[in-house]
Amino acid sequence: MKFYRLKVRDGLLFTQAALKRQQLVRVVKLLIDTGSTYTILSWEALLSLGLDPASSLTRRHVTSANGLIVAPEVEIDEFYSLGQRIEHFPVLAHTIPLGSQVSGVLGMNFLRRFDTNLNFKQATIRL
Protein backbone atom coordinates (compact mmCIF):
# COMPACT_ATOMS: atom_id res chain seq x y z
CA MET A 1 0.00 0.00 0.00
CA LYS A 2 1.15 3.47 -0.83
CA PHE A 3 0.11 6.84 0.55
CA TYR A 4 -0.86 9.71 -1.71
CA ARG A 5 -1.31 13.29 -0.60
CA LEU A 6 -4.52 14.82 -1.87
CA LYS A 7 -5.17 18.43 -2.83
CA VAL A 8 -7.55 20.23 -0.49
CA ARG A 9 -9.73 23.14 -1.50
CA ASP A 10 -12.66 24.46 0.51
CA GLY A 11 -12.58 21.30 2.62
CA LEU A 12 -12.89 18.99 -0.39
CA LEU A 13 -10.34 16.43 -1.59
CA PHE A 14 -9.02 16.28 -5.15
CA THR A 15 -6.70 14.11 -7.19
CA GLN A 16 -5.68 13.67 -10.81
CA ALA A 17 -6.35 10.92 -13.30
CA ALA A 18 -4.93 10.11 -16.71
CA LEU A 19 -7.40 8.90 -19.32
CA LYS A 20 -6.19 6.95 -22.31
CA ARG A 21 -8.04 5.97 -25.45
CA GLN A 22 -6.04 4.63 -28.36
CA GLN A 23 -3.12 7.08 -28.65
CA LEU A 24 -4.86 9.99 -26.89
CA VAL A 25 -4.09 10.79 -23.24
CA ARG A 26 -5.78 13.44 -21.12
CA VAL A 27 -4.99 14.39 -17.53
CA VAL A 28 -7.97 15.59 -15.50
CA LYS A 29 -8.58 16.87 -12.00
CA LEU A 30 -11.24 14.95 -10.07
CA LEU A 31 -13.11 15.51 -6.82
CA ILE A 32 -13.00 12.42 -4.59
CA ASP A 33 -16.65 11.64 -3.90
CA THR A 34 -17.44 8.69 -1.64
CA GLY A 35 -21.12 9.51 -2.08
CA SER A 36 -21.00 8.85 -5.82
CA THR A 37 -21.56 5.29 -6.97
CA TYR A 38 -19.90 6.04 -10.30
CA THR A 39 -16.90 7.95 -11.55
CA ILE A 40 -18.29 10.81 -13.59
CA LEU A 41 -16.42 12.77 -16.25
CA SER A 42 -17.37 15.89 -18.14
CA TRP A 43 -18.61 15.61 -21.69
CA GLU A 44 -15.69 17.81 -22.71
CA ALA A 45 -13.08 15.42 -21.27
CA LEU A 46 -14.71 12.47 -23.01
CA LEU A 47 -15.11 14.27 -26.33
CA SER A 48 -11.42 15.23 -26.19
CA LEU A 49 -10.66 11.48 -26.22
CA GLY A 50 -12.87 10.96 -29.26
CA LEU A 51 -15.68 9.39 -27.20
CA ASP A 52 -19.20 10.61 -27.90
CA PRO A 53 -21.40 9.94 -24.87
CA ALA A 54 -24.52 10.79 -26.89
CA SER A 55 -23.97 7.67 -29.01
CA SER A 56 -23.70 5.35 -25.99
CA LEU A 57 -26.42 2.72 -25.78
CA THR A 58 -25.88 2.25 -22.03
CA ARG A 59 -27.60 4.69 -19.66
CA ARG A 60 -27.53 4.73 -15.87
CA HIS A 61 -30.08 6.27 -13.53
CA VAL A 62 -28.33 8.32 -10.87
CA THR A 63 -29.78 10.17 -7.93
CA SER A 64 -28.11 13.54 -7.52
CA ALA A 65 -28.70 16.62 -5.40
CA ASN A 66 -30.87 17.86 -8.28
CA GLY A 67 -32.98 14.72 -8.46
CA LEU A 68 -32.87 11.70 -10.75
CA ILE A 69 -30.72 12.02 -13.85
CA VAL A 70 -30.02 9.61 -16.68
CA ALA A 71 -26.38 9.61 -17.75
CA PRO A 72 -24.68 7.81 -20.62
CA GLU A 73 -21.98 5.30 -19.71
CA VAL A 74 -18.81 5.03 -21.78
CA GLU A 75 -15.65 3.00 -21.36
CA ILE A 76 -12.17 4.43 -20.96
CA ASP A 77 -9.51 2.13 -22.45
CA GLU A 78 -7.09 2.84 -19.59
CA PHE A 79 -7.75 4.86 -16.44
CA TYR A 80 -4.82 5.78 -14.18
CA SER A 81 -5.21 7.36 -10.76
CA LEU A 82 -3.56 7.10 -7.36
CA GLY A 83 -0.97 4.65 -8.67
CA GLN A 84 -3.62 2.29 -10.05
CA ARG A 85 -4.37 1.33 -13.63
CA ILE A 86 -7.74 -0.02 -14.72
CA GLU A 87 -8.45 -1.23 -18.24
CA HIS A 88 -11.91 -0.85 -19.79
CA PHE A 89 -13.11 1.39 -16.98
CA PRO A 90 -16.78 2.47 -17.16
CA VAL A 91 -17.54 6.12 -16.42
CA LEU A 92 -20.64 8.26 -16.71
CA ALA A 93 -20.82 11.46 -18.72
CA HIS A 94 -22.39 14.51 -17.14
CA THR A 95 -22.29 18.24 -17.64
CA ILE A 96 -19.84 19.90 -15.27
CA PRO A 97 -20.66 23.59 -14.67
CA LEU A 98 -18.68 26.02 -16.78
CA GLY A 99 -15.80 27.55 -14.90
CA SER A 100 -15.50 24.47 -12.71
CA GLN A 101 -11.91 23.63 -11.92
CA VAL A 102 -12.58 19.89 -12.06
CA SER A 103 -13.45 17.51 -14.85
CA GLY A 104 -15.58 15.21 -12.73
CA VAL A 105 -15.65 13.00 -9.66
CA LEU A 106 -13.74 9.88 -8.68
CA GLY A 107 -16.49 7.62 -7.39
CA MET A 108 -16.93 4.37 -5.56
CA ASN A 109 -16.68 2.21 -8.70
CA PHE A 110 -12.98 3.10 -8.57
CA LEU A 111 -12.40 3.26 -4.80
CA ARG A 112 -14.09 -0.08 -4.02
CA ARG A 113 -11.69 -1.99 -6.27
CA PHE A 114 -8.92 -1.49 -3.72
CA ASP A 115 -8.30 -1.63 0.00
CA THR A 116 -8.77 2.13 0.23
CA ASN A 117 -8.17 4.16 3.38
CA LEU A 118 -8.95 7.87 3.37
CA ASN A 119 -7.51 10.07 6.09
CA PHE A 120 -9.54 13.25 5.93
CA LYS A 121 -7.56 15.04 8.63
CA GLN A 122 -4.22 14.50 6.89
CA ALA A 123 -5.71 14.68 3.36
CA THR A 124 -4.11 11.38 2.35
CA ILE A 125 -5.34 8.23 0.72
CA ARG A 126 -3.76 4.80 0.96
CA LEU A 127 -4.35 2.09 -1.63
User: What is the value of pTM for the model shown?
Assistant: 0.93
Question: What are 80-108's pLDDT values in tens digits?
Answer: 999 999 999 999 999 887 667 899 999 99
* Domains along the sequence of the chain with CATH: 3-126 (2.40.70.10)
Residue burial 47-83, b: 16+ Cβ < 10 Å; e: rest: eebebebeebeeeeebeeeeeeeebbebebeebbbbe
Average pLDDT, the chain: 94
